[in-house]
Amino acid sequence: MKRTILAILPVLFLATAFQLSTSTHKDKPAPVITAEVKSRINTTLQAFVDSGKIAGVSALIFEKGKEVYFNSFGYADRESKRPMDRNTIVRIFSMTKPVTGVALMTLYDKGAFQLDDPLSKYLPEYADMKVFKGVDSSGNLILEPAKRPITIRDITRHTAGFAGNDIPALAELVRKSDYLNLNHNLDEMSKKLASLPLQFHPGDEWAYGPCVDVQARLVEKLSGKAFDKYIQETIFDPLKMTDTRYVIAEKDRPRFAALYDRSDDKTLNRVPDDRANAVNTKDWALKPGGWGLISTLDDYMKFAQMLVKKGSMGKIHILKPQTVQLMATNHLSDTISKRMWLPSKGRVGFGIDFAVRTQPPASAAENNGVVGEFFWDGAASTMFWVDPVNELTAVLFTQLVPFDRVKLHKSFRDAVYGAFQAAKAQ
């Protein structure tokens, strides 16, 4: 209980900011997206294409419920000269995660679980977990019982402790388990993952991994429906997200963007289509919660607009306002000091499947943004954010791996909000 309170108290001001941003029309901030800003965004994105850093890019911004910016540059398919446009379908990779989080929290709204419930209450394979302590002289693993159970809160904020690839002994077990094999369904995936030792005690560290895939399995267990069917019925159909799914239809393949790799020698090379499209051109058994969806700018903007409008779009209600507020509140206490690469996102914490900005940028080198915003991105350098203070939502699509080595995200954010100003940040 003490840790839970510590996790919430430092950022109660974020909840207040979220509430005030949409509950009053007094002292409205000046518009963010002006004619000058639009020109700056255009120049910025065009420069990335002209320099050969990316093949194509598109961006869509809404402010106070209205579209205030759209443009696209370069190619969705450079080799066939097919332009990047509004209807281009892209792989959103980890931008799947917020969708899964919303799906899970629709069940929270129905009283199906509490965040501090043990995960094993619903998925018994996670009972009596063991934690890796090292390897003895004979090469055998040294394990100890977890200090406490994994909670649902842990799997929503990446503090469960699931084994990763940075410890060789555990990496070998992960490889052998093959738990993310696309031929495994979510139930099989979850049981294979649960058979592995934890990398650290639940709640001790932030480490990105398969937590959201476990969320997807939990959605299935609590709802009694296949995960892909649940998100279709609960999120995509109500919001009319008609191009968001795991499997791309044959008729839509001409709209599917190519995937490009910017290798160490800084050249841009197309990832062979058989590799780039392997996940989305076959109806695999695994429908992961952490990755795998495809979408369009307008589809994902509908999702973002639902969030900035506190869970609703007109008469369509997906989440309660207080639940969106809960998701957009930092759940990492200061005691969780090991945070993998999360600090590279700026001065942020983590809520329920979103990074949450807790402080303004400290320097011009840091990603720009507004305190109270929540956001995430994807492995092919896609990104989105929700800025409740300005009632602004932005979606940026490109198809570039490895993740944003060209600093596209920082440049786009600077174009939207303006260059860093020390006085303003204070």
Going residue by residue through the chain (426 aa), what tens digit of pLDDT does each one get? 444 444 444 444 444 444 444 444 456 679 999 999 999 999 999 999 999 999 999 999 999 999 999 999 999 999 999 999 999 999 999 999 999 999 999 999 999 999 999 999 999 999 999 999 999 999 899 999 999 999 999 999 999 999 999 899 999 999 999 999 999 999 999 999 999 999 999 999 999 999 999 999 999 999 999 999 999 999 999 999 999 999 999 999 999 999 999 987 789 999 999 999 999 999 999 999 999 999 999 999 999 999 999 999 999 999 999 999 999 999 999 999 999 999 999 999 999 999 999 999 999 999 999 999 999 999 999 999 999 999 999 999 999 999 999 999 999 999 999 988 765 555
Q: How many CB atoms lie within 10 A of CB 37?
A: 18
- Torsions phi, psi for 246 (to 5 deg): -90, -35
Residue 172 lies in a domain: yes
- Number of structural domains the chain divides into: 1
Helix (H, G, I), strand (E, B) or coil at 164: coil
Residue 2, pLDDT score: 43
Helix (H, G, I), strand (E, B) or coil at 12: helix
Helices (H), 195-331: 211-223, 227-231, 237-239, 273-276, 297-308, 321-327
Residue 191 lies in a domain: yes
Residue 36 lies in a domain: no
Residue 163 lies in a domain: yes
Q: How many CB atoms lie within 10 A of CB 47?
A: 12
Residue 193 lies in a domain: yes
CA atoms within 13 A on the CB side of 364: 6
Domain span at residue 211 reads 113-215
Residue 426, pLDDT score: 52
Q: Which residues contact 76 (CB under 8 A, 6 or more apart)?
A: 55, 56, 82, 83, 84, 85, 88, 255, 256, 257, 258, 399
Which contiguous run of DSSP H or E holds residue 195?
Answer: none
Helices 408-417 and 35-50 pack at an angle, to 10 degrees, of 160
The pair of structure tokens assigned to 258 is 């190519």
